[in-house]
Structure 1
Amino acid sequence: MFTTPVTFDRLPEAVVYLIERVSALQDELRELRNALAPPSKDSSPFITTKEACQLLGECKNTLYEKARAGIIPAYKNPGGKSWRFIKSELLEYMASGKPKSQQEKYDEMVAEMNKGLRPGGRNFLSR
């Protein structure tokens, strides 16, 4: 730190010292701003419909049908027309496996209804 009195002869040294300090303060301020800056627009969890189609390997119409049916996680802004998708949720959907077919759902329903009934009995459902 510059503690000695500044004289006319020592003025160049004082100026160099002040320039170095200002430069260091600017660097610290820049780092602080970067640390406190709000997340950039690119860090949004939402992806476009085109990106969702590429991710799932589906065409746009199929993607919209699955979104309307609630098969895949999708969102609409209130009063909005366009669908929005969150990449992490689509990845979870893909990892969970494919959805069950209508036949698989029907077979599960029949098995659930037949629980506790005697095979061949009057109320037993068979295919």
Structure 2
Amino acid sequence: MLTITKPEANRVDVDLSGKISSDEMAKGLDDLLEQSQDVNKGTMLYTVTSFAFPDLGAIAAEMARLPKLFGLLGRFDRCAVLSDTSWLRTAAEIEGALIPGFDIKAFDLDERDEAEAWLKTGIA
């Protein structure tokens, strides 16, 4: 399941769990692009639970939207990643180190309050 919500004007939340089908990926990414259109210096809370690699159709749906997804990076300053998988948390922080001007900090699932506070303050 991939669900995109916009709890605040400058914040988008992404919830990803389990295996994602091509239809779910296409809809989720389209929702992300649409809900991020008016975001400026925004934040994102990305929650990943029970991660399973997406099927080939889902990967194709993401690849088709990749140029637009790269365009989203300029709309966001910070992303907190909540995950129950340690390698995903590590990968997220490595990705954050590689993208200039975009801070990513990873948290365990039970650290939601800390992640929310970090998004609001930007203090690591």
More strand by share: 2
Larger RCO of the pair (alpha carbons < 8 Å, separation 6+): 2
Instruction: Please report the TM-score for the alignment, with normalisation by the length of structure 1.
Output: 0.19
Tell me the TM-score normalized by structure 2.
0.19
* Structure number having the greater helix percentage: 1
Return the index of the structure with the highest Cα Rg: 1
